[in-house]
Amino acid sequence: MCGIVGYVGSQPALDVVIDGLSRLEYRGYDSAGTAVSADGKLTVTKRAGKLANLREALAGADHSDTGRSGIGHTRWATHGPPNDRNAHPHTDCTGAVAVVHNGIIENFAALRLELEGRGHELSSDTDTEAVAHLLEEEVAKGASLADAMRRVCLRLEGAFTLVAVYSGEPDLVVGARRNSPLVVGVGAGENFLASDVAAFIAHTRDAIELGQDQVVELRRSGVTVTGFDGKPADVKEYHVDWDVSAAEKGGHDYFMLKEIAEQPRAVAETLLGRIGADGRLSLDEMRLTDDELRDIDKIIIVACGTAYHAGLIAKYAIEHWTQLPCEVELASEFRYRDPILTRSTLVIAISQSGETMDTLMAVRHAREQRASVLGICNVNGSTIPRECDGVLYTHAGPEIAVASTKAFLTQLIAVYLIALYLAQVRGTKWGDEVFAMIQLLGTMPQKVEQVLETVEPVRDLARSLAGERCVLFLGRHVGFPVALEGALKLKELAYMHAEGFAAGELKHGPIALIEQDLPVVVIVPSRARPVLHDKIVSNIQEIRARGARTIVIAEEGDEAVAPYADTLIRVPAVPTLLQPLVATVPLQVFACELATARGHDVDQPRNLAKSVTVE
């Protein structure tokens, strides 16, 4: 969601902060602002709209370039419309304190009433501004900014990351976090705060994880971390394993195009190092013992959006390879229906960022019920992996585009690995069977590359459909979640009505939607499953007889579907359970190209944010 940057060092703070905000634009936002401390005062500038509006305002303003500490923010509106008044940073009555905030302060209305009762004048509609005035009261009592932050945080309810500066302590930036991301970048004579390492990766790759309910003090000389209670906190340092080039477009028009092209490498990275010296599958940071895994009698997968579709595919693989019942839940619904969890339940939480609030809350609920929890995540040091009993990192590198592509494919690889690991530990598959499947997974980067080399006709097709108002997607078995994912991509990027259906449900209602020339994308199962294959061929005939324009994704050599396809898209032949790895790629390209043809920014689709850190 919101992007946050803080800096203390020898460089002009405004330059560093603006550069950091530009690297966080992918998160989605509707306004931006900065606050820089210099010459005993704070200079605050903020504008609704894109970062370009803020740059223009700064260029025309008397904004000091001597400040060496500052904060910045890109806002995704929750309280109040996206306008200049509600943009961050927010200041107190005196203009001495400035605050930026990610998250939602649930008791802000009561706090606001208190403050107004004591004479404070609040000028915005936001929940954040109350924090600035609470900090004002504490520093007026003689508290340092860090002490003031600790005291104020104890009064706040909800999820929040807060970063503040105070004109009375010009070489200090203070941050705090509860249920919302914040990471420290450690440099030489300079230090950084950000909601994502991408903001400071051009300056340093050394970082510190911040834990729950912690306050960080940033100075040129170093970093101090305490709990909200003021006691020193243990910190975990780590080194980011990618550099600034990974967070740039690399010659592509869009980050999404770059990330689609990176998928063969990303899949290979996720598979790297998974086979131990003894030939057995091994998973990094698996903190559950083999005995604990053998005691599992049910698996529940929780995720949101694209990650949820990865979970739906995982269900097929887990039940087939492990013989364990597996449920897949939308994380946002999970804890509100009183799910039945025991010590023998394994919850698998899937999140690209590791900060998805709905998924994090599901993880915490599962742990409260004494279930074991395993995370699948791409971001080292994020919250979900830290709160799980084990984690499988996908090592996909940064995903900047809002619409997930390489994260989805690497999540699929991760769930396949977990399913095979469970099968190995529980003895539901022989060692040579597990090894053979790992070998097949090892061929997937090449198969994905093969798809990417042959997608130009998909681009041509997408451009020809730019004027359509609706596209439907059909699939069976693992092709059904692929259909859901294809529809989601089109909704996200092209702002079109798109729906994914299980092909077997056609005659139970959706076939009423079929009309002359309506584009329908059909994902055809592998011929290795003839029952599934033959049934979907019948479905294609049914919709074509009613006038649909059939766009068929089928494996190489499948000639049975050719007579019924208005457009035929070929993908490599792979085992049925692995087909989503190749069948999804043309749908990503299709959505990206169609959205571009309609004039949309595919990296920053309207109303969406990359990481949803509020419920």
Active site residues: 2, 610
User: What is the chain's alpha carbon radius of gyration, rounded to the nearest angstrom?
Assistant: 25
Q: Could you tell me if residue 404 is left (phi over 0), alpha (psi between -120 and 50 degrees) or otherwise beta?
A: beta
Across the beta sheet with 236-239, what order do the strands follow? Answer: 41-48, 31-38, 69-75, 3-8, 191-194, 183-186, 206-209, 236-239
Q: Are strands 519-523 and 549-555 parallel, antiparallel or unpaired?
A: parallel
Query: Roughly what angle, to the nearest 10 degrees, separates helices 406-426 and 431-442?
Result: 170
Residues of the chain by 3-state class (helix, strand, coil), percent to 5:
40, 25, 35
Helices (H), 443-579: 444-452, 456-464, 479-494, 530-545
Query: Roughly what angle, to the nearest 10 degrees, separates helices 580-597 and 406-426?
Result: 170
CA dihedral 374, 194, 241, 352 (to 10 degrees): 30
Across the beta sheet with 470-475, what order do the strands follow? Answer: 497-502, 470-475, 519-523, 549-555, 567-571
Phi first, then psi: what are they for 396, rounded to 5°? -85, -10
Sign of CA dihedral 367, 369, 372, 373: negative
| Bridge partners for 164 per DSSP | 99, 174
Sign of CA dihedral 566, 571, 572, 578: negative
Instruction: Please give the single-letter amino acid code of residue 429.
Output: K
Phi first, then psi: what are they for 502, rounded to 5°? -70, 125
Query: Roughly what angle, to the nearest 10 degrees, separates helices 580-597 and 479-494?
Result: 20
Residues 6+ apart with CB under 8 A from 478: 313, 316, 525, 576, 577, 579, 580
Instruction: Please give the single-letter amino acid code of residue 536.
Output: I
Q: How far is CA 389 from CA 285, 297, 324, in A?
A: 9, 17, 19
Asked whether 548 and 512 are in contact (CB, 8 A), the reply is no
In the structure encoding, which two tokens stand for residue 502, read together?
A: 């299980």
Q: How many CA within 13 A on the CB side of residue 293?
A: 21
Residues 6+ apart with CB under 8 A from 24: 3, 4, 5, 74, 194, 195, 196, 198, 199
Cα 385–Cα 387–Cα 389 angle in degrees, nearest 5:
80
Instruction: Please give the single-letter amino acid code of residue 486.
Output: G
Whose tokens are 């080039």? That residue is 245
| Buried b or exposed e, range 151-179, using 16+ CB within 10 angstroms | bbbeebebbbbbbbbbbebbebbbbbbbb
